[in-house]
Amino acid sequence: MKKVCFFSVFIICFTVGVRAETSISLGIGPEVNMYSEKLAAGGLVYNMDYRFNEMWSIGARALYCIDLGQDVIGDGSALEITANVRWYFLRFTNLLFYYFLWQNKLHWFVQLDVGGSFAFFPSIMENVAYTGFNPGGMFGVRIVSDRTYIEPFLRYSLIGQLGVGVMFGLTFTGHE
């Protein structure tokens, strides 16, 4: 009887962590990246995603930043718009301690971005704007508290190189 009880608790704990609830999330926050000649660029990032289940989501991301290393701040600027696919990679694990302790708090992810950039740096490009294809990726964690979240991340893109930031947002689930 003890074995049956233990096995039942194990199955219940495992299946609780594999819910298939959908949600929409909206987030905004600061980012520092390398869209710059000398120092760094700073800006604002906006993210929207639709989560199919606990492991996958798709979305769109927009970033506007200015070059902080220019003599006149705002001389150099960049706009980046991408579509993304996100994988919450620890959501499928069958480790009981992970489900019990972290399932509703830490959502680790990797993300693939595909989109374009529009950059204008007058001193580098002699008043010529640059537009181009800009693939990239992101790694981070979504720290969830009820319907709000904080999401620190590290990202790399072909044009903007390395970026680090944090987003703050709201999640709207399908069954509320």
Asked whether residue 90 carries a pLDDT value surpassing 80, the answer given is no
The Cβ-side half-sphere exposure at 162, using a 13 Å CA radius, reads 2
**pLDDT tens digit sequence for 21-55:** 689 999 999 999 988 777 788 999 999 999 988 88
Q: In angstroms, what CA-CA distances link 107 with 38, 68, 90, 110?
A: 35, 32, 7, 10
Residue listed under structure tokens 């950059």: 119
Query: Which CA distances in Å does 4 have to 1, 22, 94?
Result: 5, 33, 19
In angstroms, the CA 117 to CA 157 distance is 10
Cα dist. 60→116, 126, 159, 163 in Å?
A: 12, 31, 18, 17
Q: How many domains does the chain have?
A: 1
Residues 6+ apart with CB under 8 A from 161: 33, 34, 35
Q: pLDDT digit string (tens) for 112-170? A: 999 998 887 776 556 667 788 989 999 999 998 888 999 999 999 887 679 999 999 99
Domain that holds residue 141: 2-173
HSE-up of residue 113 (Cα within 13 Å, Cβ side): 29
Whether this model's pTM surpasses 0.85: no
* pLDDT at 124 (0 to 100): 58
Helices (H) and strands (E) in the chain, counts: 3, 9
CATH, residue 114: 2.40.160.20
**Which residues make beta-bridge pairs with 149?**
144, 169
- For residue 123 the two structure tokens come to 């001193």
